[in-house]
Chain A
Amino acid sequence: MEDKPGVESNLTKQKSASSETVASKPVIKSVDEVTIRFAGDSGDGMQLAGTQFSDAVAATGHDVGTLPDYPAEIRAPVGTLYGVSGFQIHFSSHEVYTPGDEINALVAMNPAALKVNLKDLRKNGIIIVNSDAFDRKNLDLAEYKTNPLEDGSLEGYNVFEIPISKQITEVLKDLNLPLKTAMKCKNFFALGVVYWLYNKSLDYTLNWIKGKFSKHPEILEANIRALKAGYYYGETTEMFTTRYAVKPATLPKGIYRNLNGNEAVALGMVAAAKRAGLQLFLGSYPITPASEIMQNLAKYKKYGVKVFQAEDEIAGICTAIGASFAGSLGVTSTSGPGMALKTEAIGLAVISELPLVIINVQRGGPSTGLPTKTEQADLLQAFYGRNGECPAPVLAACSPADCFTMAVEASRIAIKYMTPVILLTDGYIANGTEPWKIQKIEELPEINPNFRTDPEGFAPYLRNEILARPWVKPGTPGLEHRIGGLEKQHIKGNISYDPENHQLMVSLREQKVRGIANDIPEVEVIGDKEGELLILGWGSTFGAIASAYDNLKDEGINVSYAVLKYLNPFPKNLEKVLKSFKKVLIPEMNLGQLAKIIRMEYLLEPLMLHKVKGIPFKSIEIENKVKEILKIKK
């Protein structure tokens, strides 16, 4: 079963001509799932090659998970170990929850890329290298004393040495491009090889190149040639004895697209504003890994979105609060250090009781920490990181596509309850991609802003049955009123220093947030509803936990799992769920922040698994912990 290669006539000729020289056609081996990593210098275009491959395989019906891994430096010195940029793609004939633990195939564009990534390659895994890059200088930069391609250290792997630089020079010779420009096509050559190896059509990328470089015919031609040259390199050389084919997954019917978490958050916010009939206003300040949310929303002027790039993080949230006060859906996006700067303003939004969505794309901390790496260590900050009794709902998205759903949920809760809502994502799901089943606006939960226009009996801190106060747009006649950060008199909203009133207002704000538990889904247990061990996750650990559960089940090990997306308040059934298991294991990318809250809230003693390395859990790490707990030999 071979996909149509999607290459045009002249190359088809080349193909038939070359096929005569090939002694035996490689075997096509059917496999269930594959994980590939493209790695090279941060300027080698590995992110692009990886994105192209993942979009192309997703478009052919696979479930896909991806994870880019790039250095904090935009262009780190060429050839160095810390300048290596990688992009991992996991695709499968069944549901995919993660970008994959171990990799089946590694594309390494230089020695440094090989050295950094080799540890993650499976035994007998495939290594495709640009052998032209393995010169003494690059070997030194990668701190290789001897050339790994020659010293036998890669024994046990399937190494394919391809002189990609020479091939590129040859195939682009007559275009007379500057060498630097020509060498930029190396990534597409490598991509072509991988397309061939995994039996995938070039169509998707060919179309992409044609659209992208339509105004630069020479670059367009060069990239197409490089891509096809890579494909036919696989086809014509006798290097590869096996090709691989993965059957498409059986995903639910619908229209799909690939999304990363940041794209999904941006779209979710636009969709929520549309559903609510509100103008969307983002106030934000550039910060890794959240900037993409602002950049995407800035492109959506056509949909009436206003983006205010503020002078700092504080102004980012304050402009959003101002916009909410004016009757728009105010949003601010940031990452940990920016979140720290916004805390005072979150308190203002809490006491003013204005709707606001605060998106924290968590990264490694504390302080500047690991800007491009992932972590889940801002949970306690989201819960408690403010002065005073300052409750705010906290939600967490569990996968790239789930960022859409949770952005809509954050908006719904913010507007309905007149409260700031903190939505936690992280670098892992913000940059990782997966297919998303496109939703219609009318399928989204209802969001009604219910602006007050009637002056009769109005008071700014009147509360409805869910304790939400009225939202009034300035410009509404007869409802002129003042709000602010000073404590409010119950109902009337005037400044009040009355002791009884303060305690009442503190309690009302707390009760309002507690009450949201009645308005969110119960937490779902996968597996038996009671038993020996429950794995409890929150946010992005979902992928590794779900994979671990599947793998353990395949081995006949019976556990259950649940993943929290609503953290403050917790779902109503959480206590019952937790107390239905003898043991609860909480894997977190921190030192046990959810565990701390669970212990405090339910007087339970959960088992913990911490990973604070800037990289997400591998499912095997969770599997091993489960086996250790259940005293099963690994």
Chain B
Amino acid sequence: MALTQPVAQPGAPDLELPENVVVSRLDELANWCRKNSLWPMPFATACCGIELMATGAAKHDLARFGAEVFRFSPRQCDLMIVAGRVVMKMLPVLQRIWQQMHEPKWCISMGACASTGGVFDTYAVVQGIDRFIPVDMYVPGCPPRPEQLIQAIIDLQDKIQREGTITGREFNTQQRQLRKRALVELPLPLSIDAARNPNIQRELAGAARPQD
């Protein structure tokens, strides 16, 4: 808890607080509310999704950390949990859903596949979602146990406590809002124009490494 007890100032009159009253900064209070009422967006595409469900179920009980309200509409969520591999056909969907979520929002990349592609180093599988959307926490494992996911959520809560203010203005910059409000159609991804595409150039440079 970030709520702070008043510090006695030397020479100041003794401030006697009534019972059940604490003093804090408004920014910290706002962050405390945000971090303890995360609404996850379950983007579960593979076996990590099973562990994600187990995390939300009675035994591991994500409700202890205020994040049990899974919603299947991105408009109602502020924490995207990408659980499982994302293939190239799914990535535009993932990006669209991420853009449809309201600020403030965070993203957890759960498991080896979402974070790096895992063992699926093939033409169809994106080698880590952080190449295309921002990620706040990575959870290692194949799949990670619920305890690991809970740890990631606790760590994310610490991060949320440290950023943000009561006005939320930092989540509301012109640049951040511009594209989301317009919801511009993402350009068709697959013009195979290798010479002009830095992603393809990077991929080709990486593919040159020796295969064993």
Partners in one complex: no
